[in-house]
């Protein structure tokens, strides 16, 4: 017999959900009533009775235990059915696809994405809507508010469900369907890309390295790249998801994916390299001896997407987050299609995708995706690159070179200052916001400031307004600096400074982005008085 217990609790407000879901240190999530309070708050807001949800996570420490708790709570709250990835594993894009494919009422994804995992690292929970996309601000606000009021939660008193095998189980009145986490996603990729052409490229000797960083994309990458596309065994490395990601930061950038960078710049570099993050929604691509900045990757994918069967009819529009470089805008202008600039975070693309206004979206933080799901999708971007390489029969360097020759080059970099004392970071941003009116016309590092503002976004579909999404300083020569505080960190504050400078031709500036951006970087430090406020004169991570 199974019984529903109603457990008395007291409010434990999570921090306001940031860019994606709730993230906390794992011991916090494992603390008394913490996970339960948040999950009950989700169900209280969206309703569970009679509904069907998807559940899965990136395999990090506590993923398996949390899945059992969430299942018992879904059953106690009257859910009809939950589809769970085998082993409680689902990449974020695969979860988004399952939500859509099965027309479910949404899904719960257990992940803190690129944040490290382990008993003393990070854990996270996010809710995705029936369209497969992250819950919008109104919904996450309501969930947060609920955590401040909650007095009880419901949980079924029952044994664990065996999630190790695919098949159907019952938990009280609720059906639990354990599904293969990879199969439906891989099938979707086959509908979008020219698998025979990519297979022929591998058969012809093309070599790649795929680094899954001991996170969730390993099983997906092995099945798609090695099993279905015929890439040699061993193409995928760090392919077994581990609870602590092998001690790695599963963040696909040149700093954390250093092994991949070293190989791609070394003497025996393969033709193409790629890495993905903890939950599989982000990607870094690297050519032999050349790094592809995410903003450039978005632009190249938009310019060449028609070479893949899924996009042969062309794109409806391209959307980018505000801090992402304007490289994609130039492509949209050339194609004569819509372009959109949204705040940071994938949830802002959902309405544009649902309304059919944008087909491809991207962020400077190594996230790209399309209307095939409602999340960014790391392997999707890697496969689109492979499709383009297979059709154009050129190297990554040649493709980038031709792109810059045609559109000009947006030199771009992001500087992150991590774990700053929150009060200091807040004071710096407040002072910067206070100084905006006096900035236009000022000369800094030989450049003249044209405009300075705090980005506010009005959603063109539903009219909702999001304020204070980042300070933008634009110069007369088209250079740009953006300042914002991260919404995903769990330790102090992370200041992100986004730097951009445009050169009309490929050879207008030094080829090294940091060198090309040097005056913009100096101006960024001066305008915000970063060192004076935070004591930091150099960033911790440069991408």
Q: Which residues bind Co ion (CB under 5 A)?
A: 113, 277, 279, 281-282
Backbone torsions φ then ψ of 433, nearest 5 degrees: -60, -40
Residue 235 interacting partner from Co ion, ligand VG1, none (CB closer than 5 to 8 Å by kind): none
Contacts of 235 (CB under 8 A, 6+ apart): 207, 208, 209, 210, 225, 226
For residue 232, the 8-state DSSP code is P
Residue 346 interacting partner from Co ion, ligand VG1, none (CB closer than 5 to 8 Å by kind): ligand VG1
By the rule CB under 6 A, 18 interacts with ligand VG1:
yes
Query: By C-beta, is 112 or 444 nearer to ligand VG1?
Result: 112
By the rule CB under 6 A, 543 interacts with ligand VG1:
no
170, 176 Cβ separation under 8 angstroms: yes
Task: Please give the residues from 460 up to 519 whose contact with ligand VG1 meets the rule CB under 6 A.
Answer: 486-488, 496
Query: By C-beta, is 282 or 480 nearer to Co ion?
Result: 282
For residue 486, the 8-state DSSP code is -
Query: By C-beta, is 86 or 365 nearer to ligand VG1?
Result: 365
For the bound state, the minimum distance from the C-beta of residue 307 to ligand VG1, rounded and expressed in Å, comes to: 26
For the bound state, the minimum distance from the C-beta of residue 321 to ligand VG1, rounded and expressed in Å, comes to: 6
What is the Cα–Cα distance from 321 to 401, expressed in whole angstroms? 24
From the CB of residue 326, how many other CB atoms can be counted at a distance below 10 Å? 22
Query: By C-beta, is 23 or 533 nearer to ligand VG1?
Result: 23
Residue 363 interacting partner from ligand VG1, Co ion, none (CB closer than 5 to 8 Å by kind): ligand VG1
What is the Cα–Cα distance from 354 to 332, expressed in whole angstroms? 19
What b/e sequence results for 124-133 when a residue is b if at least 16 CB atoms lie within 10 Å of its CB, and e otherwise? bbbbbbbbbb
**Chosen residue from 122, 363, 377, 459 binding ligand VG1 by CB under 6 A:** 363
* Residues with catalytic function: 113
Size of the site for ligand VG1 (CB under 6 A): 19
Query: By C-beta, is 269 or 432 nearer to ligand VG1?
Result: 432
Stretch that binds ligand VG1, among 45-53, 276-284, 456-464, 501-509 (CB under 6 A): 276-284
For residue 109, the 8-state DSSP code is E
**Chosen residue from 72, 114, 146, 480 binding ligand VG1 by CB under 6 A:** 114
Q: Can you give the C-alpha Rg of the chain in angstroms?
A: 23
**Chosen residue from 367, 369, 470, 539 binding ligand VG1 by CB under 6 A:** 367
Q: How far is CA 462 from CA 109, 316, 348, 458, in A?
A: 25, 19, 11, 8
Query: By C-beta, is 366 or 385 nearer to Co ion?
Result: 366
Stretch that binds ligand VG1, among 168-176, 239-247, 254-262, 359-367 (CB under 6 A): 359-367
**Chosen residue from 20, 52, 96, 490 binding ligand VG1 by CB under 6 A:** 20
Nearest-CA neighbor of 352 among 131, 145, 500, 158? 131
Residue 345 interacting partner from Co ion, ligand VG1, none (CB closer than 5 to 8 Å by kind): ligand VG1
Query: By C-beta, is 77 or 486 nearer to ligand VG1?
Result: 486
Stretch that binds ligand VG1, among 18-26, 157-165, 192-200, 388-396 (CB under 6 A): 18-26
For the bound state, the minimum distance from the C-beta of residue 399 to ligand VG1, rounded and expressed in Å, comes to: 24
Nearest-CA neighbor of 322 among 453, 469, 486, 446? 469
Contacts of 523 (CB under 8 A, 6+ apart): 444, 445, 447, 473, 475, 481
What is the Cα–Cα distance from 264 to 523, expressed in whole angstroms? 32
Residue 365 interacting partner from ligand VG1, Co ion, none (CB closer than 5 to 8 Å by kind): ligand VG1
Stretch that binds ligand VG1, among 35-43, 181-189, 341-349, 383-391 (CB under 6 A): 341-349
Stretch that binds ligand VG1, among 7-15, 75-83, 183-191, 360-368 (CB under 6 A): 360-368
By the rule CB under 6 A, 253 interacts with ligand VG1:
no
Residue 52 interacting partner from Co ion, ligand VG1, none (CB closer than 5 to 8 Å by kind): none
Stretch that binds ligand VG1, among 17-25, 69-77, 139-147, 501-509 (CB under 6 A): 17-25
For the bound state, the minimum distance from the C-beta of residue 110 to ligand VG1, rounded and expressed in Å, comes to: 12
User: Could you write out the DSSP letters of every residue in 303-372?
Assistant: HHGGGSGGGTT--SEEEEETTS-THHHHHHHHHT-EEEEE-SSGGGGHHHHHTTS-SEEEETTTEEEETT
221's enclosing H/E stretch is helix 217-221
Q: How far is CA 522 from CA 158, 234, 293, 538, 543, in A?
A: 60, 44, 21, 11, 17
Contacts of 210 (CB under 8 A, 6+ apart): 221, 225, 231, 235, 236, 237, 239, 273, 274, 275, 382
Q: What's the order of all strands across the beta sheet hosting 283-287?
A: 236-237, 208-211, 272-276, 283-287, 290-291
By the rule CB under 6 A, 249 interacts with ligand VG1:
no
What is the Cα–Cα distance from 231 to 223, expressed in whole angstroms? 10
Task: Please give the residues from 54 up to 73 whose contact with ligand VG1 meets the rule CB under 6 A.
Answer: none
CA atoms within 13 A on the CB side of 123: 25
For the bound state, the minimum distance from the C-beta of residue 334 to ligand VG1, rounded and expressed in Å, comes to: 25
Nearest-CA neighbor of 93 among 189, 212, 164, 197? 189
For the bound state, the minimum distance from the C-beta of residue 426 to Co ion, rounded and expressed in Å, comes to: 26
The residues that touch ligand VG1, with contacts defined as CB under 6 A, are 18-20, 113-114, 277, 281-282, 321, 344-346, 363, 365, 367, 486-488, 496
């Amino acid at each position: 017999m199974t019984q529903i217990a109603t457990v008395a609790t007291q409010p434990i407000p999570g921090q306001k959900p940031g860019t994606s879901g709730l993230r906390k240190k794992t011991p916090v999530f494992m603390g008394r009533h913490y996970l339960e309070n948040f999950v009950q708050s989700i169900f209280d807001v969206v309703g569970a009775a009679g509904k069907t949800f998807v559940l899965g996570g990136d395999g990090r420490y506590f993923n398996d235990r949390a899945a059992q708790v969430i299942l018992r709570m879904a059953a106690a709250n009257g859910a009809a059915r939950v589809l769970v990835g085998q082993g409680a594993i689902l990449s974020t894009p695969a979860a988004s696809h399952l939500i859509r494919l099965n027309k479910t009422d949404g899904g719960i994804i257990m992940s803190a994405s690129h944040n490290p995992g382990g008993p003393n690292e990070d854990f996270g929970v996010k809710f995705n809507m029936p369209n497969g996309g992250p819950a919008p601000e109104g919904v996450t606000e309501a969930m947060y508010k609920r955590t401040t009021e909650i007095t009880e939660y419901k949980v079924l008193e029952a044994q664990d469900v065996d999630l190790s095998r695919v098949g159907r189980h019952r938990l009280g009145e609720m059906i639990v369907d354990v599904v293969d986490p990879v199969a439906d996603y891989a099938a979707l990729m086959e509908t979008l890309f020219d698998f025979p052409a990519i297979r022929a490229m591998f058969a012809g000797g093309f070599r790649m390295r795929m680094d899954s960083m001991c996170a969730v994309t390993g099983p997906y990458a092995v099945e798609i790249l090695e099993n279905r596309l015929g890439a040699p065994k061993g193409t995928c490395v760090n392919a077994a998801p581990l609870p602590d990601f092998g001690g790695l930061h599963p963040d696909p950038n040149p700093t954390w994916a250093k092994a991949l960078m070293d190989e791609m710049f070394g003497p025996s570099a393969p033709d193409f390299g790629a890495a993905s993050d903890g939950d599989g929604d982000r990607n870094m691509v690297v050519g032999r001896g050349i790094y592809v900045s995410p903003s450039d990757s978005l632009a190249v994918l938009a310019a060449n997407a028609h070479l893949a069967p899924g996009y042969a009819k062309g794109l409806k529009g391209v959307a980018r987050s505000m801090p992402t470089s304007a490289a994609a805008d130039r492509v949209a202008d050339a194609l004569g299609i819509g372009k959109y600039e949204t705040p940071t975070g994938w949830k802002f693309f959902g309405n544009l995708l649902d309304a059919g206004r944008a087909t491809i979206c991207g962020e400077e933080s190594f996230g790209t995706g399309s209307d095939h799901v409602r999340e960014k999708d790391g392997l999707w971007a890697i496969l689109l690159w492979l499709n383009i390489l297979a059709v154009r029969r050129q190297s990554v360097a040649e493709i980038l070179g031709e792109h810059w020759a045609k559109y000009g080059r947006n030199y771009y970099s992001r500087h992150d200052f991590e774990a700053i004392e929150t009060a200091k970071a807040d004071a710096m941003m407040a002072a910067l916001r206070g100084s905006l009116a006096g900035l236009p016309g000022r000369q800094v590092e030989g450049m003249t400031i044209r405009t300075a503002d705090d980005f506010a976004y009005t959603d063109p579909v539903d009219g909702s307004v999001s304020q204070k999404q980042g300070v933008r300083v634009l110069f007369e020569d088209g250079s740009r600096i953006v300042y914002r505080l991260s919404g995903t960190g769990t330790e102090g504050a992370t200041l992100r400074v986004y730097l951009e400078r445009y050169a009309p031709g490929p050879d207008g500036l030094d080829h090294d982005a940091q060198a090309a951006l040097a005056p913009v970087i100096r101006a960024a430090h001066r305008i915000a008085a970063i060192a004076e406020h935070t004591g930091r004169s150099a960033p911790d991570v440069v991408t």
